Structure 1
C-alpha cells in the first residue's frame, strides 16, 4: 500500500482546495462580467455607442472590472483574517457558548463523555465544546485548522432531542471530518464565499439606502439620485444571485461525497448504524436549519445537516437528502425507523440485516476510514504493542496505517480508562488549576517524596501556576495507580482547560515545565514528549494552519536525520545496533546514507526538526512515521515510552495516533 488511507484523504482535502480556487476564479470572472454589463448599460451614450467588448477594454470598463475584483478579494481576505483564530473564532462568529469542562448540565456532560471517549480512542486532544443555546434544531459542526486544535459546536436541540446513541453517531460523524482533514477546507470555504457574496451585499445596502431614502424624502431635490442608487442596488442584488448560485455550487461540489464518507465513518467508529440513522431520521421529522445566526448559509457545507433553506436543493444542496443518507447507512433502516415511530409499544432490538448491494457501497466507504480490528480488547499491554500483537499480517513498516483510525480496541481502551478515573481526579482535569498541577504531577509522580518536594519547590510561587499541594495530593495517587499507559490520555483530557490559559499564563507554564524537566539534569523520553507536546498545542500559533512547503525529502534531510537518529537510539541500548537501525531507516529516504546517528538531541533541535517535517506534503508523512516505527519495532516489542515518543512525532505531524 503506497499511501495509507488517512494520508490519501489528507492529500485529497488539499486537492479540493485547488478545486475551490478554480471555482472561485470562475465565479469572480462571471460576476465581474455581469457587473461590467450593468456599468456598460448605465454609462452607454447614444452619441458614442461602443460595443460591449470594446467598452470592456476602455478606461471605464477596466476600472469597473478592477473595482469588482478588488471588492471580492477584500471580502475574502477580511473574512480569512477574521477566521485566522481557528475553530474558536468560528464558534464565536455564530454566537455559540463555550461548554465549561466541569459543567453540571446533564445533556452537556453526556456530550462531553462521548467526545472524550472518541478523542482518546482516535488519539487527538479533546476538542473544545460549544453549544448554540438559541437553536432548537438538530445540527453540529467542527472547525479548526488541525486535529489537535479542533472545536465542536452542537445545537441545543441536538442535546435535548437526541439520545446517547444518536448523539454518539453525530459525534462520530464530526470526528470523521476532524480526522479526514475536512475542517481546514471548510473554514477556508467560508472566506471564499464571503468574497463571492460581497457584490450582492453591497447591492442590498444600496437598494435599502436608495429606495428608503427616496420614500422618506420625496420632495427633496436629490430624490432622482436616490432612485438611481436604488436601481443600481437592485441590479447588483440580481447579480449577487449569481454569486449565491456559485457559492452553493461550490459547497455542493466539495461537500456531498465527504458527508457520505463521514456517515460511513460514524457507523464504523460506533458500530451502531441506528445511532446516526436515528439522528438523521429526527432531522427529517424536524429540521437542521440554523435560524439565530446570519452565517447559516456560509456554513451550510460544514454542518451535520442542511443549515439554510434554499431552492433547487437537488442541485445546490451541500448534503444528500436525509432519506438517501439513511438508506446508504443500512438498507431497510429508514423503514424500521418509520415503523418504530408508528408503533406505540416498545419494540425488541432489531438485528442488522446481512450485507446487500446497497450496503456494500457504504461498507466500502467505511473500509476507507478504518481497517479491520486487531488485537485483544481490554489488553493492558502498551497501547501500541497491543494493536500489533496477534497479527503477523501487519508489517512493522506499515505503522502509518494506524494513523487517523478508530477501532473497537481503541474504544475499549478509552472507555476502560475513563471508567477507572475517580470522579475527583477527572473533575480536577477540567479546571485550569487542576490541569496545570497535572503537568507537574506527570513529571514527578514517580519520584521519591523528598526528591519530588525538592523539585516542585523550585517552581516560582504563583496563585495559579505555582505548586498547589492540596490538588497534587489528589492527583498523584491516581497517576501512580494507572501508570505510564494513562499519561497521554489524561493530558488530552486536560487540554481544554489548558487552552483557557491566556498567553502570559501559557508562557509561564511552559517555563515551569522546562524547569522541572531540567531539574534532574537528565532528559527522559516522556519528558521530551511532554515538553514538545505542550509547546505544540499551547504556542501562540497553535490554531493556525500549517502550510505545505516541502514536496520532497531532500529539502528536509537534516531534520529527518535528527528524528530518525533519536528513534534509532531509543529502539536499542546497543550503539552498534542503533547505527544499523539508523542506516536501514535512512535508506528508505536516501540512496547512500553515510552518517551515524547523533549522540544527543536537544529539545529545541527536536522541536525545530518536527516543525519542518510538519510542512511536508501529506503523502510524504507516512514515510517518516514508518521509519520511526521501523526503529522501535525491530525487536518485536514496544514499551509505553517508545509509544509516547511515536505518538509525539505523529502529533507534531498532525497525524492522530490511536492508543491501541
Structure 2
C-alpha cells in the first residue's frame, strides 16, 4: 500500500474541505440576511407600524395590501455588512480554535478528558496497551507516541497530532478491557495508519472549521439566554421590546446549529473513505484481518463506540468507531459496522462477538510468555520482529548492581526497561554517547556527568555501561526511540539541561560523529514538539528540480558513508538515483561537516510525500549497491526518515 500517495490525497482533500467550508459560510450569509430582513419587517409591521397601519386602513382599505414584504428589507449595504460580519466571526472563531489546537495531539486528547499513561505503569490493561503500541511502533518504523485513556466503557480510539513526531493515541477504557490482544492490535494498527496516511493534520483542520461554523449558533444561544433572563425578571412594557432580540437570537440558534448539518456533511465527505483505507492498512500491518474485524464485531455485540465527552461533536470524525449516537446514515462519520467487517472479512457469518473477560486476557498473556520462553525469545530483539516478551504484561527487569550476563538480548531487555523510566532513560541516552573506555575522552565525559548530574547519575551510568557495550549497534537507535515517551515526562527546564548535556558529551572530543548526530537529531525531532510550540511544517516542494540539490546532499552523504572509495560512492549514488527515477542529481564531494546535511533536511521536510517516498527508495538502492548494509547506513536512513516525518520499517535486511 502506497502511503505516500495516500498522504498526497489527504492534502488534496484539504482543497475539498475549503470548498465545503466556503459553501457553508455562503449559506450562513444568505440565511442571516433573510433572518435580519424578517426581523426588521416584523418590527415595522407588527410593533412600530401597527397603529399607523390601522389609521391608514380606515381612510384607504387598500393600504394594507401595499405594505413592503420582508424581502424589501434586504439592501446591498446590509448584505455587505452581514457578509463581512459572518466572515470575520466564522473565520475568527476558526482561527482561535486553530490556535488553541497548536498544542497538537496532546491538546486534543486533554480536551476529550484523556489521562496520560506513564510508560512505567504496572496496571495489567494499561501495561498491555502500552506494549501493543510499542510493538506497532517498532513494526511500522514510527516513534512511540504518548497514550491517553478516556474513562468511557465503550470501545473507541483515536490518533491526533500534526505529524508523526507529535502524534498521540487516545483509547477508551472499554477498548483496553473488552478486546483481546489480537483485537487491540488491529485497532492500534488502524490508528497508526491514520498517522501514516496524513489524516491527523486534516482532522485538526476540520475541528477548527467546524467550530467556526458552529460559533454562529453559540452567539445565538448567548442572545437567547440573555433576553430570556431579562423577560423573566421584568414584565414591563419596555421589556417587551426585547422580543425582536429574542426572536433574532432564536433564529441564530436555528441557523447556527444548522451549521451542524454542514459539519456532518463535511465530516462524512472527508472521513468515511479514510476509515475504509485505515481498516485495509491495519490488515496490512498486522497481517491478520481477524484482529480489526474482531474488534468491530465486539462493538456490534453491544459494547458500542459512543463517547460521552462534550467535545465529541467536533472530534467524532477522528475516532475508530462512531462516537455520536445513531443518526441518519448519510451524515454518519463512519461506514456501517456490517460493511466495514465484510470488506475486511468477506466470509463473515454475520455474528457479533462477546467481549473478552479479564481471566481470558490474563491467560492469553501467560500463554504468550510461555511460548516465547520455549522459543528462546524471552528477551525481545527490538530491531527485528515486533512480537516478543515486551508484549507481555509481566514486570520488567530493574537495573541492579550485579554484573550482567554476556547476552545482548538480556542487555537489550534490561535497557528497554530503563528506557521506560524518566530518570534511567536520561542515563541510557547519555551512556550511548560515551566513547570507548580505551579513549582518553571517555574519562572526560564521565567527569562531566559527575559534575553536572551528580553522583547517583554517575553510578547509574557505570551500571549501564556493560549493558550498552553488549548491545548490537543496530539496537541503539530503536532504544532511543523507545525512551521518548518517558523523556516527555521531564519538565521544560530538565529537558533544556538534558539537551545541553547531550551536546557537551557529543562535542567532548572536538567533533561529532554520525551516531552522535543521529541520536541528537532524533532527540530534537521527538522532544522539541512536546516542549515547544508545535509548528506544522508547510508543504512547498512538489517537483524534483525544486530541491534536487537537497536530495543530492542527502544521497551523497549516504553513498560516502557506505563506500570505501570514490568509485564505490559514485556507483551507489547512481544506483540510488536511477531506482527512484531522479535525473537531476549530482554526487557531492565528501565532507566532514554535517551542516549541508542539516540544511538539506530542513528543505526536504517541506517536500510533498511522493518526493519523500522516492528518496526513501533511492536510499534503499544506495545501501544495497554493494550487497550489504552497514550499521551507519541504517542509522542514517532511520534518522533522515524521522526528520522528514516518514515512517520506514527497518530490519536486518534494511528498509522493509
| Both proteins in one fold, TM over 0.5 | yes
Note if 1:518 corresponds to 2:533. no
Conservation of the 8 A alpha-carbon contact between 1:277 and 1:333:
no
Correspondent of 1:481 among 440, 445, 470 = 470
Match of 1:455 among 431, 445, 448: 445
Answering whether residue 346 of structure 2 is matched by residue 331 of structure 1, we say yes
Q: Match of 1:38?
A: 35
Normalising by structure 1, we get a TM-score of 0.82
Aligned counterpart, 2:541:
550
The correspondence for 2:484, drawn from 474, 495, 499, is 495
Candidates 266, 286, 303, aligned match of 1:270 = 286
The CA RMSD measured in Å over matched residues stands at 3.1
Match of 1:213 in 2: 230
Question: 1:61 Cα shift?
Answer: 2.1
Distance 2:135 2:303 in 1: 29
Give CA deviations for 1:40-76 in whole Å, capped at 9, x if unaligned: 1122456994884x86552222111211111110111
Structure-1 separation of matches of 2:456 and 2:19:
55
How far did residue 90 of structure 1 move? 0.6
Match of 1:571 among 562, 566, 569: 562
Distance 1:629 1:478 in 2: 31
Distance 1:266 1:555, change over 3 A: closer
- 1:493-539 per-residue CA deviation (whole Å, 9 max, x = no partner) reads 10012223344333332222222222233443222211222222222
How far the C-alpha of 1:239 sits from its partner, in A, is: 0.8
Distance 2:626 2:582 in 1: 24
- Is 1:316 equivalent to 2:364 in the alignment? no
The separation in 2 between residues aligned to 1:622 and 1:253, in whole angstroms, is 27
**How far, CA to CA, are the matches of 2:298 and 2:620 in structure 1?**
45
Does the C-alpha gap of structure 1 residues 412 and 15 become closer, same or farther in structure 2, counting only changes over 3 Å? farther
In the alignment of these two chains, the number of paired residues is 589
Secondary structure of the residue aligned to 2:314 is coil
Residue in 2 aligned with 1:366?
A: none
The aligned counterpart of 2:10 is: 13
Which of 26, 29, 34 pairs up with 1:29?
26
Quote the Cα distance in structure 2 between the aligned partners of 1:170 and 1:445. Answer: 42
- Alpha-carbon distance change, 222 to 91 in structure 1, aligned in 2, over 3 angstroms: farther
Q: TM-score, normalised by structure 2?
A: 0.83
Q: Which stretch of structure 1 is more off in the superposition, 227-236 or 54-63?
A: 54-63
SS in 2 for 1:154: strand
Query: Which structure 2 residues correspond to residues 11-410 of structure 1 after superposition, within 5 A?
Result: 11-44=8-41, 49=68, 52=71, 56=74, 58-133=76-151, 135-215=152-232, 217-284=233-300, 285-291=302-308, 293-312=309-328, 314-337=329-352
CA contact (8 A) 1:550 1:615 kept: yes
Whole-angstrom distance in 2 between the partners of 1:467 and 1:245: 60
**1: CA distance, partners of 2:582 / 2:150:** 52
Contact 1:383 1:640 in 2 (8 A): no
Alpha-carbon distance in structure 1 between the residues aligned to 2:582 and 2:103:
38
Shift of 1:259: 0.9
Q: 1:542: Cα distance to partner?
A: 7.5
| Partner in structure 1 of residue 638 of structure 2 | 647
Structure 1 residue 428 corresponds to structure 2 residue 428: no
User: SS of the counterpart of 1:290?
Assistant: coil
Tell me how far apart the structure 1 counterparts of residues 346 and 617 of structure 2 sit (CA, whole Å).
39
Per-residue CA deviations over 1:74-113 (Å, capped at 9, x if unaligned) read: 1110110111111011111112111111112111101001
Query: What is residue 370 of structure 2 aligned with on the other side?
Result: none
Cα distance in 2 for partners of 1:271, 1:233 equals: 55
The higher radius of gyration belongs to: 2
Residues 590-629 of structure 1: matches in 2 within 5 Å? Answer: 597-629=588-620
Q: Which moved more, 1:556-565 or 1:639-648?
A: 556-565
Residue number among 411, 416, 429 corresponding to 1:439 in the alignment: 429
- Secondary structure, counterpart of 2:170 in structure 1: strand
In the TM superposition, residue 457 of structure 1 has moved relative to its aligned partner by 1.8
Question: What is the rounded CA distance, in whole Å, between the counterparts of 1:502 and 1:100 in structure 2?
Answer: 14
Q: Distance in 1 between matches of 2:74 and 2:537?
A: 40
Q: What secondary structure, in the 3-state scheme, does the structure 2 residue paired with 1:35 have?
A: helix
* Structure 1 unaligned blocks of 5 or more: 347-377, 387-408
Counterpart contact for 1:149–1:542, Cα < 8 Å: no
Any conservation in 1 of the 2:39–2:244 contact (CA below 8 Å)? Answer: no
Q: Deviations over 1:455-486 (max 9, x none)?
A: 2323474458x981332244333333331121
Deviation at 1:246, TM superposition (A): 0.8
Could you tell me whether the CA contact under 8 Å between 1:610 and 1:653 is conserved in 2?
Answer: yes
Cα distance, 1:438 vs. partner? 1.3
Provide the rounded CA distance (Å) in 1 between the counterparts of 2:139 and 2:634.
15
Contact map agreement 1:199 1:237 (CA 8 A) in 2: yes
Cα deviation 1:192-246 (Å, max 9, x = unaligned): 111111111211222222223312x133454224333221121111112331111
Other structure's SS at 2:171 match: strand
Measure, in 2, the Cα distance between the counterparts of 1:279 and 1:639.
Answer: 41
**Cα distance, 1:35 vs structure 2:** 0.9
- Structure 2 SS opposite 1:137: coil
Q: Which has the higher contact order (CA 8 A, sep 6+)?
A: 1
| TM superposition shift of 1:303 | 0.5
Query: 2:571, 2:625 within 8 Å by CA — same for their partners in 1?
Result: no
Q: Which runs of 5+ in 2 are unaligned?
A: 46-65, 361-376, 397-408, 652-656
Task: Please tell me whether the aligned partners of residues 582 and 597 of structure 1 are also in contact (alpha carbons under 8 angstroms).
Answer: no
Give the 3-state SS of the residue equivalent to 2:169 in structure 1: strand
Deviation at 1:415, TM superposition (A): 6.5
For the residues of structure 2 that align with 1:276 and 1:127, how far apart are their CA atoms? Answer: 20
